[in-house]
């Protein structure tokens, strides 16, 4: 991109970016580029834009349209609302007003990822999303605390939600974050929703914050989260009636199942799963698993594994070692 055009694009972004930390970094890079003539850093940030697809968004937590940051989330949430209202309106027309004219609640969850130097985090993205939805009078539940991804689509189905957003980059490296979208059926979006949402995001009125969103006033919904988790685990427990565990228990008794159970080793790979897996094991009446201690707590730095994906070579080395040392059978 031509340096003059690149500078103008960066200045336009600066005028809309609500993050003082990101604005400061962009301004510093602009000053450096003008004095040195090297625009490569700015080019990496402003020469392209991340696109909303069936997997939502995923990119590095960093300023500019090539990355994921506060302004990208504002633009995305505003565009998503435009698309939701348009889609809901068309569906309402087809059904002759049977939907009652009101969108169901939006469900938002987040994990522990963050870039503290730029004050970027999954929780902040969740708060921004709730602030935008609330501004447009759409009921919204921001789940309290770090939650597992499946809780969001479960909540969408359980509460008749219009959509669900999960802020996470799943197995990506620590610098990345993502924005997964679930439709009213509890499934990740499919075509043509993705292209429709992308087009809505790019409408001029959605590329600028429609107001100053004060996320310090945005709170999580503690009671709703507690109720949803109870329902979630109840559904898991109800499913026991038709599975092998139930058959063995009824035939031989719980003590047989417990004494015959393999020894499980679990690693959350510095993610948020441990308390939820613990509760699932408890729901099934299984003996406690052996957690890999150094990887059990949420850690946005992912200190012991560079790529927290069990499919990656070496990612399970510590779990294998823990299993070997403690007689574990299943990881």
Q: Which of the residues are catalytic?
A: 170
Bond prior to 38 in cis (omega within 30° of 0): no
Contact 177, 119 (CB under 8 A): no
Neighbours of 267 (CB within 10 A): 28
Angle CA 180–181–185, to nearest 5: 135
**Tokens standing for residue 59:** 């990119």
Burial class (CB in 10 A: 0-12, 13-18, 19+), 288: exposed
What is the rounded distance in angstroms from the CA atom of residue 41 to the CA atom of residue 22?
14
For strand 163-167 and strand 106-110, is the pairing parallel, antiparallel, or unpaired?
Answer: parallel
């Amino acid at each position: 991109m031509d340096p003059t055009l690149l500078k103008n694009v960066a200045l336009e972004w600066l005028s809309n970016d609500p993050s003082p930390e990101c604005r400061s970094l962009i301004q510093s890079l602009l000053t450096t580029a003008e004095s040195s003539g090297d625009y490569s850093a700015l080019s990496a940030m402003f020469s392209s834009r991340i696109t909303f697809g069936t997997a939502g968004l995923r990119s590095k937590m960093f300023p500019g349209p090539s990355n994921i940051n506060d302004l990208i989330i504002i633009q995305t949430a505003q565009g998503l609302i435009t698309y939701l209202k348009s889609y809901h309106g068309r569906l309402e027309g087809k059904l002759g007003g049977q939907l009652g004219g009101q969108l169901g609640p939006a469900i938002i969850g987040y994990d522990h990822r963050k870039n503290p130097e730029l004050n970027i985090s999954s929780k902040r993205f969740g708060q921004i999303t709730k602030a935008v939805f609330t501004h447009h009078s759409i009921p919204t539940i921001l789940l309290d605390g770090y939650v597992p991804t499946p809780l969001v689509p479960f909540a969408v189905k359980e509460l008749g939600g219009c959509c669900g957003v999960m802020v996470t980059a799943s197995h990506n490296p620590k610098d990345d974050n993502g924005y997964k979208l679930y439709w009213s059926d509890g499934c990740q979006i499919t075509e043509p929703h993705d292209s429709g949402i992308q087009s809505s995001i790019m409408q001029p009125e959605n590329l600028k914050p429609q107001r100053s969103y004060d996320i310090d006033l945005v709170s999580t919904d503690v009671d709703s989260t507690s109720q949803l988790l109870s329902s979630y685990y109840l559904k898991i427990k109800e499913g026991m009636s038709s599975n092998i565990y139930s058959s063995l228990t009824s035939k031989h008794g719980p003590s047989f199942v417990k004494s015959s159970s393999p020894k499980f080793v679990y690693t959350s790979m510095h993610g948020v799963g441990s308390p939820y897996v613990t509760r699932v094991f408890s729901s099934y009446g299984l003996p406690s698993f052996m957690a890999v201690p150094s990887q059990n707590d949420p850690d946005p730095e992912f200190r012991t594994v560079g790529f927290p994906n069990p499919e990656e070579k070496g990612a399970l080395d510590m779990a294998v070692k823990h299993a070997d040392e403690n007689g574990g059978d299943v990881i």
